[in-house]
Amino acid sequence: MIFTFTFEVKPDRDAIIPPFTSKLSRSIFLDFSPTYSKFIEAEEPYKPFRITVLKDGSTPIYSKGNGMVTLTGGKIYNFSVTTTLQKVVEEVVRTTSIDKEIFNAKFHVELDNMEMKEELGLEDSRLYKVFFNTPTLLQPPRPKFKRKENRFILFPYVPSFFYSLSSHWNKFMNEKIVGVTGSKTLYYFREVDYNIRPVTTYYGKTPTRGFTGWVLFELKAKRNSKIRENIRKLLDYANYFGVGKSRSIGFGEVKVLKIE
């Protein structure tokens, strides 16, 4: 089961917050869920959480560079949290609203909506459009050598895209998905059109280089085949947990839609 909470956030005055605004989202959510604090500094590569950046309606708010972000006093913003943990649900519904002083402002925060998702899988279609709404940090599988420097690619190379999704899925879902990370997927899930651009943002003092934009894909695997089913499941999963490194703190937020 996947649970998604949406919170409304209203500052009492203009507030200056860090360039990647999920720092505020995460600080707020700590007051809703003590369980989250146990995961926030964990070294595990995959976590059962995804917390988005702050949004103005549906538009993600973050600085494309190291400049700070200014929020308008009295305006309502939002962010969402996705998790697989039932205990977190129990904690959130007991709290529902808080007032938090941070970044020289007081924020009133309310739980606006909660959704539950049990069955995953986008509706079958020939075309799917993937929107990369926040900087996506997609890594190829790391070779077995001592060098630990991160290597991010600036285009959603299909095997790396599904490697990231399936690795996270297999960590938290009961049903395991295999066979979607090799060259076969390159032929079954093809780029048709795209508008991708590199972008640099800051989380703390370190610049992070990723990409945003969209890619239109064509799914050519046979109808009712296992690989077609698994691809549709992982595309739906991406809507809830994102893709790539640091997705738990709002990087790699995507929206996948079927195209008629």
What gap in Å lies between CA 185 and CA 232, rounded to an integer? 12
Q: How many CA atoms lie within 13 A of 154 on its CB side?
A: 8
Task: Give the pLDDT band (50/70/90) at residue 148.
Answer: low
Helix (H) or strand (E) holding 163, with range, is helix 158-172
Predicted confidence at residue 183, as pLDDT, reads 86
Question: Who wins on pLDDT, 43 or 56?
Answer: 56
Q: Sheet containing 206-219: give its strands across.
A: 189-203, 206-219, 127-136, 254-259
Predicted confidence at residue 245, as pLDDT, reads 93
Predicted confidence at residue 141, as pLDDT, reads 73
Neighbours of 164 (CB within 10 A): 28
Predicted confidence at residue 116, as pLDDT, reads 97
Backbone φ and ψ of 187, nearest 5°: -85, -30
Predicted confidence at residue 145, as pLDDT, reads 64
Predicted confidence at residue 182, as pLDDT, reads 87
What mean pLDDT is predicted for residues 139-168?
85
Predicted confidence at residue 43, as pLDDT, reads 78
pLDDT above 90 for 215 = yes
Predicted confidence at residue 24, as pLDDT, reads 98
Predicted confidence at residue 147, as pLDDT, reads 61
What is the bridge-based pairing of β-strands 206-219 and 189-203?
Answer: antiparallel
Among the CATH numbers 1.25.40.10, 3.40.190.10, 3.30.70.1900, 3.40.50.150, which is that of 127-259? 3.30.70.1900
Task: Give the pLDDT band (50/70/90) at residue 235.
Answer: very high
Backbone φ and ψ of 44, nearest 5°: -60, 140
Tokens read off for 196:
């991708």
Backbone φ and ψ of 34, nearest 5°: -60, -30
Mean pLDDT of all residues in the chain?
94
Q: What are 9-55's pLDDT values in tens digits?
A: 999 999 999 999 999 999 999 999 999 999 987 778 899 999 999 99
The ranges assigned to domains in the chain are 2-117, 127-259
Question: Who wins on pLDDT, 204 or 7?
Answer: 7
Task: Tell the CATH topology of 2-117.
Answer: Elongation Factor Tu (Ef-tu); domain 3 (2.40.30)
Q: What are 154-201's pLDDT values in tens digits?
A: 999 999 999 999 999 999 999 999 999 988 899 999 999 999 999 999
